[in-house]
Each structure stands twice: as C-alpha cells, then as structure tokens.
C-alpha cells in the first residue's frame, strides 16, 4: 500500500499530507570524477530526495577550470563558469567544494562560511590544513561545515566520531584509509605485477594519473590528522606523526608479507597512551584473518575503540567517484550537525616510543643475510630470525622502539640498496 495508517491509543490517524519541497540552491566547485558523479546523483535521485528529505536541489552554478572538457550529460552547460569571483558571488544556500588541494579551495571555503553559508567538502587536504580555522569561522557566522566525504569515501566515520561516539572517550582510531594502495596491495597478493596493478587502479578511477600522494602515505596522513582532531581534539597540524608509504618497492613489501604468513596493508593509527597521543601511517604486516587483512580491493575499514563503548568497525568502499559523491550528497541533503567541541585540554601529541616488531628486507647477494645481521647487531637491535627467499633476506626484530630501528636503517642504507621496512603484527 502506498498510504500507511498509524494506530495510536486505539485511534486511527492518517499521516500528514506531504510537505511542499523546499528549494536548496547549490553552487558546485569542481566537476571532475567526484563532482560529475554528484551531478548525476542529483539528477537521477531528484524524486527520492524530495520524498525523503522534502528538498528540491537546484544547481545554480558550477565552477570548472576548463569549459571544453567532457561533462555529464545531465549538466546544463549554461551553469558552467571559469570565473571564481562570479562563482563566489552566486546566491546559493550551500557551496559544495569538490576541487581538491588548498588553492582555490581555501578561498572558496572562507568566503562561503564567512557569509554564513553551508560548506560541504570532500577535500581532506583542506580540512587537515585548515579544519579548526574553518570550523571556528562556521560557528562565528552561523554557517556549517560538513566534510563526511573527506575521509574513507562512503564510510560514515566522521559522523560516528563527532556525534555517536564523541563523548565515549576515544582510545584508538585505526584502519585502512586509502583505497588506492589497498587495491594495489590486494592485486599484488593475487600475483599481479605492480605496474599492472597500478594501471588497473587508474583505469577504474581509484588512482590519479600521478598517484604519488597515495603511494607515499600523504593522502592517508591527511585523513588521519582529521580523525585524530575529532577523536582527541588535537589540531591536525600539531599531530606528531610517523609516515612511510608503500613505495619504493611495493612488490617486495607484499612478498615479505607472504613469507611471514600475513598481508601487507598501509595502516593509519592514532592512539592515546600514558605519555600522549601517538600516530603513524606505515606498512604493517597484519594477520590474514583479521579485519585489516580481510579488507580487499578499494575497501576502507576504520576500527574505533572507546573506553565506555568498546570497539566498533566501519567498512566500505574508499576510492572512486561514486562512494565520495554519495557521501557528499548525504551531507548536502541531511547535514551532519555541529562539530564536536574538543576538550578544553586535549592530550599532548608525542613521538611513538612504543616497542614493535619490524621486518627489514634486503636484496643483494648470498652475503646479504650476514651484512644484515652485522648491521642490526651494531645498532643493538636483536633479531629473532632471518628468512630467505631467493635473493631476498628478511629479518624480523624482537620488540624494539622506532628510534633504534631507524638507526639500523641508516646504517643499513650505507651498505645495501633500498631496504624495505614494515611493522609486523603476525606470529613468526
């Protein structure tokens, strides 16, 4: 039945008549992979948006860098402009920023929020660099800043941290925050060569033409800074963070993980310790059966541990235009409420001095294992085993702090080419 009757206190009551849809005027900055997909979602989902949210979304202006590039068939070409000033002057209720980077995104954000408008953005670099400033600007001018789509694509992790879990005492946020590297590492698990895996990721729209920010861990770092801000109240630019990506040799990284019986994943983690909050983005060899090891392809996963609510796991697609645009649309029609106010005295960000086990991989001659052993011994780093696989030697250290392993790497680099290091969380 299309009309439902509600029964309350033995009386039959008809539902209220449908609301007259309110028009929401939207200015969109950027019409590439994400912005273009948002245009399509707005067009094809218009009826459902009106029915569910009582809103008629109307695009009033679309800012692009070049008019001549292919655009979605659903987009009226008359809405396009390359004039930033004209775009900023447009009378809009909501400004959606899907350009990326900081310039001109920061100017767009400051202008929109300074005029009391809502800003919806998928720009993790912008929020990581200027999030607290923009949040303050939104509160001061009664605007609103929504950025659910800036982290983990279609996973509602931002809303979980600042709304559902904001007062539960977050202890740790950990996960896979970059779909591109996870897709590549999964392909390497399946026996692909790195060049072919990267080309496949680019063909599917998961990787940019220049994937450097993904491979180096910079993209995941921006996202982790945002999550640590929401979880612990630490300004993104103040977080002390150790970063290493899956380069320079992803194939050897994946091979090391297979030799040790695990899976290589680029893991982002921020933890509150007795000394303060520590953070890292780095390759980790994780158990195959664990939540990180089971995460395949472009999927992202975030594990949130709180002192009063236990742990929850959020997972879903984390790369590509569709998931990000869907999250933008959700923020656009629903809004995600106010930003949680950080604690008056947030924890202090500190270097990670916890002791971990590490895998150090070298490739050279039959003498590589001996050189590796001597180098680690000089640095005072004990090893539990050295495994051999062809010309590759992999040493697994007993638990030691990062500073000691870093010293070993510096010495090692002088004698052997391109050592690969990853944190080890599997039993060896």
Share of the chain above pLDDT 70, in %: 86
* Contacting residues for 286 by C-beta, under 8 A, at least 6 apart: 262, 263, 264, 265, 267, 292, 293, 425, 426
pLDDT range class, residue 127, cuts 50, 70, 90: very high
Q: Which of 4-8, 42-46, 118-122, 198-202 has the lowest mean pLDDT?
A: 4-8
Asked whether the beta carbons of 286 and 425 are under 8 A apart, the reply is yes
**Helices within 233-320 (DSSP H only):** 250-259
Ramachandran region, residue 205 (left: φ > 0; alpha: ψ -120 to 50; beta: rest): left
pLDDT tens digits for range 349-387: 999 989 999 998 888 665 666 777 777 887 788 888 888
Q: Which of 124-128, 227-231, 320-324 has the lowest mean pLDDT?
A: 320-324
Query: Is residue 124 flagged as an active site residue?
Result: no
pLDDT tens digits for range 180-224: 999 999 999 999 999 999 999 999 888 888 899 999 999 999 999
For position 306, what pLDDT does the model report?
Answer: 81
Q: What 3-state class would DSSP assign to 1?
A: coil
Number of Cβ atoms within 10 Å of the Cβ of 161: 26
**Higher pLDDT, residue 158 or 303:** 303
Exactly one of 61, 124, 162, 223 is catalytic; name it.
223
pLDDT range class, residue 34, cuts 50, 70, 90: confident
Q: What is the CA radius of gyration of the chain?
A: 24
**Helices within 321-401 (DSSP H only):** 321-334, 368-378
For position 364, what pLDDT does the model report?
Answer: 67
For position 68, what pLDDT does the model report?
Answer: 79
Residue 185, token pair as written in the block: 């590492």
For position 417, what pLDDT does the model report?
Answer: 60
* Contacting residues for 130 by C-beta, under 8 A, at least 6 apart: 102, 106, 109
* Mean pLDDT in residue range 393-401: 88
**Higher pLDDT, residue 324 or 6:** 324
**Average pLDDT taken over every residue of the chain:** 83
Q: How far apart are CA 395 and CA 144, in angstroms?
A: 51
Distance set, CA 116 to CA 92, 94, 383 (Å): 11, 10, 59
Residue with tokens 């500190």: 350
pLDDT range class, residue 326, cuts 50, 70, 90: confident
Name the percent of the chain in helix, strand, coil, to the closest 5: 35, 25, 35
Stated as kind and residue range, the H or E segment containing 43 is helix 33-44
Ramachandran region, residue 62 (left: φ > 0; alpha: ψ -120 to 50; beta: rest): beta
* Mean pLDDT in residue range 119-133: 91
pLDDT tens digits for range 2-22: 333 333 344 444 445 445 678
For position 338, what pLDDT does the model report?
Answer: 45
**Domain architecture of the chain: domains with CATH:** 20-146 (3.40.50.720), 157-318 (3.30.360.10), 355-424 (3.30.70.120)
For position 230, what pLDDT does the model report?
Answer: 87
Q: Which of 81-95, 222-236, 372-386 has the lowest mean pLDDT?
A: 372-386
Q: How far apart are CA 59 and CA 389, in angstroms?
A: 58
* Mean pLDDT in residue range 272-287: 95
pLDDT range class, residue 267, cuts 50, 70, 90: very high
* Contacting residues for 9 by C-beta, under 8 A, at least 6 apart: none
For position 276, what pLDDT does the model report?
Answer: 92
For position 42, what pLDDT does the model report?
Answer: 87
Number of Cβ atoms within 10 Å of the Cβ of 202: 15
For position 328, what pLDDT does the model report?
Answer: 76
* Mean pLDDT in residue range 252-263: 95
Q: To the nearest 10°, the Cα dihedral for 102, 99, 244, 233?
A: 60
For position 380, what pLDDT does the model report?
Answer: 82
Share of the chain above pLDDT 90, in %: 41
Q: What is the largest CA-CA distance in the chain?
A: 87
* Mean pLDDT in residue range 91-95: 90
Q: What 3-state class would DSSP assign to 276?
A: coil
pLDDT tens digits for range 62-80: 999 888 788 888 888 999 9
Q: How far apart are CA 250 and CA 215, in angstroms?
A: 9
């Amino acid at each position: 039945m299309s009309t439902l009757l509600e029964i309350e206190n033995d009386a039959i009551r008809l539902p209220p008549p449908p609301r007259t849809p309110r028009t929401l005027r939207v200015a969109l900055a950027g019409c590439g992979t994400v912005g273009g997909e948002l245009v399509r979602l707005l067009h094809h989902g218009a009826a459902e948006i009106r029915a569910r949210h009582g809103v008629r979304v109307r695009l009033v202006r679309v800012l692009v860098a070049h008019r001549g590039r292919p655009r979605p068939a659903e987009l009226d070409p008359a809405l396009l402009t390359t004039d930033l000033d004209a775009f900023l002057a447009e009378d809009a209720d909501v400004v959606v920023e899907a350009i990326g980077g900081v310039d001109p995104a920061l100017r767009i954000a400051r202008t929109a929020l300074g005029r009391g408008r809502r800003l919806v953005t998928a720009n993790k670099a912008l929020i990581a660099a200027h999030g607290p400033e923009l949040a303050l600007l939104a509160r001061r001018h009664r605007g609103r800043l929504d950025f659910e789509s800036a982290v983990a694509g279609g996973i509602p992790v931002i809303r979980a941290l600042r709304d559902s879990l904001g007062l539960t005492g977050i202890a740790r946020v950990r996960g896979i925050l970059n779909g591109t590297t996870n897709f590549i590492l999964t392909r390497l698990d399946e026996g692909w060569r790195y060049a072919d895996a990267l080309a496949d990721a680019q063909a599917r729209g998961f990787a940019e033409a220049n994937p450097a920010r993904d491979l180096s861990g910079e993209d995941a770092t921006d996202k982790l800074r945002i999550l640590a801000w929401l979880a612990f109240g630490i300004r993104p630019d103040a977080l002390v963070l150790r970063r290493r990506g899956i380069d320079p040799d992803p194939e050897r990284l994946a091979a090391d993980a297979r030799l040790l019986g695990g899976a290589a994943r680029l893991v982002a983690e921020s933890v509150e310790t007795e000394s303060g909050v520590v953070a890292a983005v780095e390759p980790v060899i994780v158990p195959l059966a664990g939540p990180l090891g089971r995460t395949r392809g472009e999927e992202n996963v975030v594990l949130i541990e709180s002192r009063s609510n236990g742990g929850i796991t959020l997972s879903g697609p984390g790369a590509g235009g569709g998931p990000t645009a869907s999250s933008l649309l959700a923020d656009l029609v629903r809004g995600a409420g106010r930003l949680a106010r950080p604690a008056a005295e947030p924890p202090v960000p500190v270097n990670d001095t916890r002791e971990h086990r590490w895998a150090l991989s070298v490739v050279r001659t039959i003498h590589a294992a001996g050189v590796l052993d001597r180098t680690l011994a000089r640095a005072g780093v004990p090893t539990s085993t050295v495994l051999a696989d062809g010309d590759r030697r992999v040493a697994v250290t007993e638990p030691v702090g990062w500073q000691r392993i870093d010293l070993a790497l510096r010495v090692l680099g002088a004698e052997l080419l391109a050592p690969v290091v990853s944190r080890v969380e599997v039993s060896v």
